[in-house]
Amino acid sequence: MAFCFYSQVPAKQPSSRLLLSSTPNSNSLYPHPRSVQVLAVAPRESTMANSVRVAAAQMTSINDLAANFATCSRLVKEASAAGAKLLCFPENFSYVAAKDGDSLKIAESLDGPIMKGYCSLARESSIWLSLGGFQEKGSDDAHLRNTHVLIDDAGNIRSTYSKMFLFDVDVPGGMVFKESSFTEAGKDIVAVDSPFGRLGVTVCYDLRFPELYQQLRFNHEAQVLLVPAAFTKVTGQAHWEILLRARAIETQCYVIAAAQAGKHNDKRESYGNTLIIDPWGTVVGRLPDRLSMGITVADIDFSLIDSVRAKMPISKAFFLESKMTNKKVLQYVEGNKLTHGNVLVLIEVVGKDQMRDKSDLWQYLDETEPIVLEVCRFVLNKKVVASDDPDGSSKLV
């Protein structure tokens, strides 16, 4: 069930990180060059109802913190009145700069007055808030972090995620963006337990990198993916809904995608089209106007998630991640038919000497770089293990 609430009115802090749950090397995402750590809460027995109502907001943020906060406050009231327990805001909900450098000037820490105001808003309205794309102060005065902040209904910051993939592109039509010139890329994949299921937390341009969403679904058991965004008019028209529905289908997750919409200033315009999508790829929440300001509301049905995953068990044949740094390793795996279609493989390559006892793959590996090689998982309940042959060598079987 989905509802929409909209209007045509124009738009005029303490942090608590989650537990580190895995090693950096095991979560590297191509093409991002750095190792990635995973922040996630350990799975727990569910106490959730079979469904829960959520909302996604659409707005046109400007370079006025107070005006944007007033808009957010009104949208929170609409979401609460509709029975939503979680309201997701778009990227740059609190501020969109009119001039280069303005975002750096207003950037502040998560315990600053801007975020404290939103924490109070969540507490006073007894609603969880997903605040995607907050300008968090960076490690120096020349950089900020594009941070997705999740606040619970008591006004506490439950989790933060800094945007991993930065928007450095030449958009058709002559527009050039270089987000990395003033933004620090995040290093952490974040999944969070909540009353709305296990949330995978992302921001905007991350949407174009399916590896991140596959990690969230298959490594960290996400059920709902949060994608706050400010897609340009050109890229949004071409790719926005297609990418969102693809992420929902391939991960079998709900996707909540709150979007900026319309003209923020003379130079910047966002596409809009805020969506909520179910695990089958069906749009279950959409505003009636791509550019209207308001909220769309839908129910997260956990039985539907379970049903889709049970009837189409893609996790049993999912090639999770392959970090093969040597072509001979790939040739060995292919030559021995170690494919995702017929085996379950999880080989930890921690060094040449240790690998020598497990298989003959060691001779093809870089002697100086310890890696974790995840060839594939979840297939036919079979394992590839070391086996001693009569000639003394160890093979994968």
pLDDT in tens, the chain (397 residues): 555 543 333 333 333 322 222 233 333 343 332 223 333 333 333 445 699 999 999 999 999 999 999 999 999 999 999 999 999 999 999 999 998 889 999 999 999 999 999 999 999 999 999 998 999 999 999 999 999 999 999 999 999 999 998 888 887 776 788 888 889 999 889 999 999 999 999 999 999 999 899 989 988 899 999 999 999 999 999 999 999 999 999 999 999 999 999 999 988 899 999 999 999 999 999 998 999 999 999 999 999 999 999 999 888 765 433 333 344 445 545 555 444 333 333 333 333 344 344 444 444 434 333 333 333 332 222 333 333 333 433 333 3
Strand pairing class (197-201; 224-226):
parallel
Q: Report the phi/psi class of residue 57: left, alpha or beta, with left for phi > 0 and alpha for psi in -120 to 50.
A: beta
The range of the structural domain enclosing residue 279 comes to 2-312
DSSP state of 190: E
- Which of residues 289, 312, 335 is at a domain's end? 312
Judged by DSSP in three states, 295 sits in strand
| 44's tokens | 């727990």
- Cα distances from 189 to residues 36, 41, 356, in angstroms, run 7, 12, 32
Which residues form the catalytic set? 91, 163, 204
- Which of residues 263, 293, 312 is at a domain's end? 312
The b-or-e profile of 256-289 (16+ CB within 10 A means b, else e) is bbbbbbbebeeebbbbbbbbbbbbbbebbbbbee
The domain that holds 92 is classified in CATH as 3.60.110.10
Looking at the DSSP bridge assignments, the partners of residue 38 are 189
97 and 142 in a single domain? The answer is yes
45 and 72 in a single domain? The answer is yes
| 380's tokens | 């036919």
Number of structural domains found in the chain: 2
Are the CB atoms for 187 and 34 separated by under 8 Å? yes
- What number of residues does the chain have? 397
Structure pTM? 0.72
Are the CB atoms for 59 and 72 separated by under 8 Å? yes
Neighbours of 303 (CB within 10 A): 9
330 and 294 in a single domain? The answer is no
301 and 328 in a single domain? The answer is no
- Which of residues 284, 312, 340 is at a domain's end? 312
Neighbours of 92 (CB within 10 A): 27
| 160's tokens | 């933060």
